[in-house]
Amino acid sequence: MTPSSQVPAVTLRDGEQIPQLGFGVFQIPPEDTADITTRALLAGYRHVDTAKAYNNEAGVGQAIHAANLQREDVYITTKLWNSDHGYDSAKRALRTSLDQLEVEHVDLYLIHWPTPAKDNYVETWKALIELQQEGLTRSIGVSNFQQAHLERIIAETGVAPAVNQIELHPYFAQTGLRREHADHNIVTEAWSPLAQGAVLDDPAIVEIAQAVGKTPGQVVIRWHLQHGNVVFPKSVTQSRIEENIDVFDFTLTDDQMAAIDALDRGERIGPDPDTFN
């Protein structure tokens, strides 16, 4: 079986399907993005997570052609940046991203951060609801939304996001927010799933990796998948690009899952959404 055919699909609340494992391109330099994303697509990834703020949407679009794939073969997520909050700006922002990607629509469009000090994420969300109705994005969601932000957009528009993309890894397991997502049928997407490498030397993870004959990175990706998270590790290294999608020939036991769950320290590596504006 090819790796892409082994990646499960997760059904979103709007009925659309998303490949549970994808490829993240944060911090991949714009000039390298087409080449590295092409290599990821050739390795079997069919889901790419980019953002306006990564300044590399164009490279993602180019990679689809370079890998000889059709637009519909690849699930593309991009995100609205903090400077584009507001109803009119949000509508313009997606069109600009589509131009960069050279596609007619994306599969998932996210509000990147709630930026609560600006207090216009509700207006921004209303624009995304319309952008979905216009067919410019198949699904809409948010990123870095806390419980209060989620409850507010749902209360004021009646529309819940398909996903919330949040920092989530063994050192920051987000149990409370994951429960909130489950209550609203919102899929959890985990960003920095490997904590940018910080969890990979953890003795508990290294021990499990030795026991199952896989690498620490593969064990952590498997932990996410078995928890139902959508995940998109980033790597510019060919061997790791291949390794990170080679996670469908083993399963973690309940005890191994629990041992990784026990590593939660409630420690972020990234910004706090309540104060990041």
Amino acid at 181: H
With beta carbons less than 8 A apart as the criterion, state whether 33 and 55 touch: no
Residues 117-136 that bind ligand NDP (CB under 6 A): none
CB of 259 to ligand NDP, least distance (A): 19
By beta-carbon proximity to ligand NDP, the closer residue of 155 and 239 is 239
Closer residue to ligand NDP in complex, CB, 132/144: 144
Interaction pattern, residues 172-211, with ligand NDP; x per rule: CB under 6 A: -------------------xxxxxxx--x-----------
Count of residues engaged in binding ligand NDP, rule: CB under 6 A: 29
* Residue 54: active-site member: yes
Rounded-to-integer distance, Cα 18 and Cα 10, Å? 5
What residues contact residue 214 under an 8 Å CB cut-off, 6+ apart? 222, 247, 250
Residue 237 makes contact with ligand NDP by CB under 6 A = yes
Spot the catalytic one: 54, 109, 121, 171: 54
Residue 243 as a binder of ligand NDP (CB under 6 A): the answer is yes
Using CA atoms, how far apart are residues 63 and 25, in angstroms rounded to an integer? 12
Name residues whose C-beta falls within 8 Å of residue 23's C-beta, 6 or more positions apart in sequence. 37, 40, 41, 45, 47, 48, 49, 232, 233, 234, 241
| 165 contributes a contact to ligand NDP by CB under 6 A | yes
DSSP state of 166: E
Within positions 26 to 55, which residues make up the interface with ligand NDP, using CB under 6 A?
A: 26-27, 49
> Smallest distance from the beta carbon of 40 to ligand NDP, in angstroms?
11
The span of 59-67, 232-240, 246-254, 255-263 binding ligand NDP (CB under 6 A) equals 232-240
Q: How many CB atoms lie within 10 A of CB 165?
A: 26
Residues belonging to the chain? 277
Q: State the DSSP code for 188.
A: E
Q: Annotated catalytic sites, by residue? A: 54
